[in-house]
Structure 1
Amino acid sequence: MKKPIYIAATLAVLIISAALPGHTQTDAAAKSLLDKVSKTYEAYKTIQADFSLTIKQPQQAPHAETGKIAMDKSAGKYYITTGNQDIISDGKTQWMVLKDVGEVQVTEVSPTSDAVSPTNIFSFYKEGYKYVSAADERTGSRQLAVVELTPEDANAPYFKIKLRVDERTYQIHDVTVFDKGGNQFVYTLKNTKANPQLADNRFVFKQTDYPDMEIVDLR
Structure 2
Amino acid sequence: MNKSIYTVIILVTLVINTVFPGYAQTDAAAKTLLDKVGQTYEAYKTMQAEFSLEIKQAQQAPHTELGKIYMDKSTGKYRITTASQDIISDGKTQWMVLKDVGEVQITDVAPASDAISPTNIFSFYKEGYKYVSSADEHVGGKPLAAVELIPEDTNTPYFKIKLRVDEKTHQIHDVTIFDKGGNRFVYTIKNAKVNPSLASNLFAFRQTDYQDVEIVDLR
TM over 0.5: yes
Report the counterpart of residue 120 of structure 2 in structure 1: 120
Q: Tell me the secondary structure at the aligned position of residue 39 of structure 1.
A: helix
Structure 1 residues 13 and 201, CA gap change in structure 2 (3 angstroms): closer
**CA RMSD for the aligned pairs?**
1.9
1:133 pairs with 2:104: no
Report the counterpart of residue 8 of structure 1 in structure 2: 7
Q: Tell me the secondary structure at the aligned position of residue 153 of structure 1.
A: coil
Runs of at least 5 residues in structure 2 that lack an aligned partner in the other structure? 16-22
Structure 1 residues 177 and 114, CA gap change in structure 2 (3 angstroms): closer
Structure (1 or 2) with the greater helix fraction: 1
* Native 8 Å contact 2:88 2:95 kept in 1: yes
Query: For 2:24 and 2:43, how far apart are their aligned partners in 1?
Result: 28
Report the counterpart of residue 41 of structure 1 in structure 2: 41
Query: For 1:41 and 1:83, how far apart are their aligned partners in 2?
Result: 27
Q: How many residue pairs are counted as aligned between the two chains?
A: 212
Structure 1 residues 189 and 13, CA gap change in structure 2 (3 angstroms): closer
Corresponding letter in the other structure for 2:199: A
Q: Tell me the secondary structure at the aligned position of residue 208 of structure 2.
A: helix
Q: Tell me the secondary structure at the aligned position of residue 125 of structure 1.
A: helix
Q: Tell me the secondary structure at the aligned position of residue 86 of structure 1.
A: strand
Structure 1 residues 28 and 115, CA gap change in structure 2 (3 angstroms): closer
Runs of at least 5 residues in structure 1 that lack an aligned partner in the other structure? 17-22
Report the counterpart of residue 187 of structure 1 in structure 2: 187
Query: For 1:135 and 1:115, how far apart are their aligned partners in 2?
Result: 27
Structure 1 residues 2 and 171, CA gap change in structure 2 (3 angstroms): closer
* Native 8 Å contact 2:14 2:177 kept in 1: no
Query: For 1:118 and 1:40, how far apart are their aligned partners in 2?
Result: 16
Give, in angstroms, the shift of residue 27 of structure 1: 1.3
What do residues 5-35 of structure 1 show as CA deviations (whole Å, max 9, x unaligned)? 344366466359xxxxxx9611111011001
What do residues 132-183 of structure 1 show as CA deviations (whole Å, max 9, x unaligned)? 0010000011000000000111111111000000011000000000000000
Report the counterpart of residue 86 of structure 1 in structure 2: 86
* Native 8 Å contact 1:15 1:124 kept in 2: no
Q: TM-score, normalised by structure 1?
A: 0.91
Q: Tell me the secondary structure at the aligned position of residue 14 of structure 1.
A: coil
Give, in angstroms, the shift of residue 113 of structure 1: 6.5
- For residues 1-219 of structure 1, what are the structure 2 equivalents within 5 Å? 3=3, 5-8=4-7, 11=10, 14=13, 25-111=25-111, 114-219=114-219
Give, in angstroms, the shift of residue 209 of structure 1: 0.3
Structure 1 residues 6 and 94, CA gap change in structure 2 (3 angstroms): closer
Corresponding letter in the other structure for 2:13: L
Q: Tell me the secondary structure at the aligned position of residue 124 of structure 2.
A: coil
Q: TM-score, normalised by structure 2?
A: 0.91
